[in-house]
Amino acid sequence: MALAVPYPRSFHRMKVRDLPEILQIEQEAYRQCWTEQIFRDCMKVGYDGWVLQEGREIVGYGIVAIAVGEAHLLNLCVSPAHQGRGFGRALLDYLIDWSIQCGAGAMFLEVRVSNTRAQSLYRSCGFTLIGERPGYYPADPPVIREDAWVFRLDLS
Ligand SMILES: CC(C)(COP(=O)(O)OP(=O)(O)OC[C@H]1O[C@@H](n2cnc3c(N)ncnc32)[C@H](O)[C@@H]1OP(=O)(O)O)[C@@H](O)C(=O)NCCC(=O)NCCS
């Protein structure tokens, strides 16, 4: 029996032409998702967006803002159809390596208190909980706002 050959995985910098596929994933993955304008603004101000492909299909992406020795992870997302296959970890590892190459000594991120799946990924990569931002995220009624936890990873 012939074995299926897995499609190769590759990373590239986020480009405007990736946005239709990215927006589709964003809408499928989040209840409160980013708009196209937010992605465009991130690219315009020079934040580092990276896209992970399997074969020709975009399976995930992440955006990190790096300044004055600190990296801030703004978005990390894997297509729901491909979650649980190691892509989230691969993207996060890539963004951590990239931030180190860019001279960052620490990475910070916010995550919803209800997002235990992402928290478990961050903790397993060495992030530690350092604070809380009350009402940081929009939420569905009747809650209206949801708190964020702030995590930090030492990159030095
Ligand atoms: C969070 C997210 C990026 C993880 O990506 P993923 O490709 O599904 O994750 P991976 O397959 O790489 O798994 C990495 C780790 O995540 C955690 N994880 C993955 N699936 C999980 C699940 N169903 N339940 C709990 N933890 C889970 C585990 O710690 C896992 O490590 P392990 O496989 O060694 O146990 C992805 O679920 C996602 O895009 N979610 C929607 C968007 C989002 O919430 N982004 C984070 C915003 S802060």
CATH code for the domain of 48: 3.40.630.30
Nearest Cα residue to atom 10 of ligand 1? 86
End-to-end CA distance of the chain: 48
Whether residue 26 lies inside any domain: the answer is yes
Q: What's the CA-to-centroid distance between 109 and ligand 1, angstroms?
A: 15
CA of 79 to the centre of ligand 1 (A): 11
| Cα–Cα dist 12/141, whole Å | 38
Q: Which tens digits make up the pLDDT trace of 83-124?
A: 999 999 999 999 999 999 999 999 999 999 999 999 999 999
Kindly state the percentage of the chain with pLDDT values over 90: 92
Mean pLDDT of 12-31: 97
Residue nearest to atom 1 of ligand 1 (CA): 118
In a domain, 3, yes or no: no
Cα distance between residue 79 and residue 42, in whole Å: 20
Q: Could you list the residue range(s) of the whole structural domain that residue 67 is in?
A: 9-154
Strand 106-112 and strand 70-78: the pairing is parallel
Mean pLDDT lowest among 80-89, 109-118, 125-134, 135-144: 135-144
Task: Give the ligand 1 atom nearest the CA of 111.
Answer: 48
Q: Is residue 70 included in any domain, yes or no? A: yes
Q: How far apart are CA 75 and CA 117, in angstroms?
A: 15
Residue 130 has pLDDT above 70, yes or no: yes
The answer to whether the CB of 77 is under 6 A from ligand 1 is yes
